[in-house]
Structure 1
Amino acid sequence: MTSPAVDDAYERLRSLIYTGELMPNERLVEADLAQRLQVSRAIVRTALVRLGQDGIVVHTPHRGARVRVVTDAEAVEILQARAVLEALTARQAAARATAREITAVRRVLTGMERKLAEGDLLGYSEGNAALHAAIIAAARHETAARLIAGLRGQMVRFQFRTILVPGRAPDSLAEHTAIVDAIAGRDPDAAENAMRHHLSHVEAALSRRRLSHFGES
């Protein structure tokens, strides 16, 4: 059983990895992190175990924990697998979502619009994750939800990186709007296609960012 203190430490550590403040392959020292978060080492240790279960952190015997390295090539493969699974959940959500769930999804989308207008790309990216989670929940497909959770845990760094590609954020918002409109319109085919379209563009943005980094090196 977890606790609010562990949940908070987990989210804060996840955010530090998400934004790159804790870098890939960086050693995660419990004492240092406990001081940084102003919590006990036991809380940090439990949070790191959860991050390990998510595939974000790797634990090595006698060497401790490190931020897991996910290559760009692996990230593309994960996105391709997600595209299949999340297209299914978008389709199911269009058929199964309640009126209350659709309202909640639209509320998240409105929040994303606000964050983008404010120039808060991290907040936008967090809203992006919340929107996908809401769609997955509305689909009521437990197997897909479990598989997606395992994949998404490894993508936190890349989700933020792709939104930094010039021009990507407004396109992302338009893609999410199309997904939500299709679900609200009870159109399973359109919802599935919109989700596939969106994730294919995320994959392309990741590839563009990778190529731009090669050009800088």
Structure 2
Amino acid sequence: MSTDKTEGLVDHLREMLQSSSELAPERILAEQFNVSRHTLRKALKTLRGAGDLPAAKSGRRANTDASPASARLVQSTNPLEVMEMRLMIEPALARLAAMRASPDEISRIFQTAQSPDNLSPAQADQDFHRAVAAGSRNSLASELHILLHRVQNDARLRFTDSDTDSRTTEERVKARDAEHHMIAEAIAQRDPIKAEKAMYDHLELTQRKLMGLGLRSGDVI
């Protein structure tokens, strides 16, 4: 299958995931799209790298282990620790993306930088950060990033009520999209230093909000 057709398969699978959190077994999907298992697995790998699909489980233990790593971590961490880790990892991912992301990955980063009307503000934000992580071309760092977001999304670790979708103002969404576009532009310009700083500044604003620190001139919450 050509690269264009593989990308088309990825798009179709991503659309399916918007209406369901799980996909049908590989055999059924391969028959549905009339593709080989090899081609299907390449598309699934792309989705996992972008954070749109959980990592594949394998082995007998995968069938019996009902306690994912994120559930265990929730018991021993807090929102401040999550943000500290995001500030350490995500600026580095943006830096790597500026050096390594393919044209298609950069296009995806730009696409997710604008919050669509059919997604909640929280989901739109996560889609952007997952796209940047995928563009870093570092699978281990991408997995750590996905794990952090899963821990952060646990109801027991909600930052504050002001972070819920119902209280995310239109002004904040616009400001956040503008911050995302700055990161995307730096990545597209292949400027790793600028991309790293833009991501750090973007996340630092969230951290300041979480810690209840005063805003700086120009900050929008």
Give TM class, smaller chain.
0.5 to 0.7
**One-letter code aligned to 2:96:** Q
Query: Residue in 2 aligned with 1:24?
Result: none
Q: Distance in 2 between matches of 1:54 and 1:171?
A: 33
Evaluate the alpha carbon distance shift between residue 185 and residue 104 of structure 1 in structure 2; reply closer, same or farther with a 3 A threshold: same
Q: Distance in 2 between matches of 1:91 and 1:147?
A: 16
Evaluate the alpha carbon distance shift between residue 10 and residue 57 of structure 1 in structure 2; reply closer, same or farther with a 3 A threshold: farther
More helix by share: 1
Instruction: Indicate yes or no: 2:107 matched with 1:99.
Output: no
Poorly superposed stretches of 4+, deviation over 3 Å: 7-11, 68-71, 157-161, 163-168
Q: Distance in 1 between matches of 2:208 and 2:97?
A: 25
Root mean square deviation of aligned Cα? 3.4
Query: Residue in 1 aligned with 2:10?
Result: none
Q: Distance in 1 between matches of 2:22 and 2:207?
A: 27
Is the 2:121–2:168 Cα contact (8 Å) retained in structure 1? no
CA drift at 1:205: 2.2
CA drift at 1:165: 5.5
Count of residues in Structure 1 that have an aligned counterpart in Structure 2:
150
Pairwise mapping of residues 80-159 of structure 1 onto structure 2 (< 5 A)? Answer: 80-110=84-114, 112=115, 114-115=116-117, 123-156=120-153, 157=155, 158=158
Scaled by the length of structure 2, the TM-score of the pair is 0.57
Query: Residue in 1 aligned with 2:80?
Result: 76
**One-letter code aligned to 2:97:** A
Is the 1:92–1:188 Cα contact (8 Å) retained in structure 2? yes
Query: Residue in 2 aligned with 1:162?
Result: 163
Q: Distance in 2 between matches of 1:54 and 1:105?
A: 27
Gaps of 5+ in 1: 12-45, 59-67, 210-217
More strand by share: 1
What is the percent sequence identity of the aligned residues?
25
Q: Distance in 2 between matches of 1:104 and 1:9?
A: 20
Query: Residue in 2 aligned with 1:55?
Result: 70
Q: After superposition, give the CA deviation of every residue in 1:129-150 in whole Å (9 maximum; x if it has no partner).
A: 1111111111011232222222
Greater Cα shift, 176-185 or 101-110: 101-110
Q: Distance in 2 between matches of 1:174 and 1:205?
A: 18
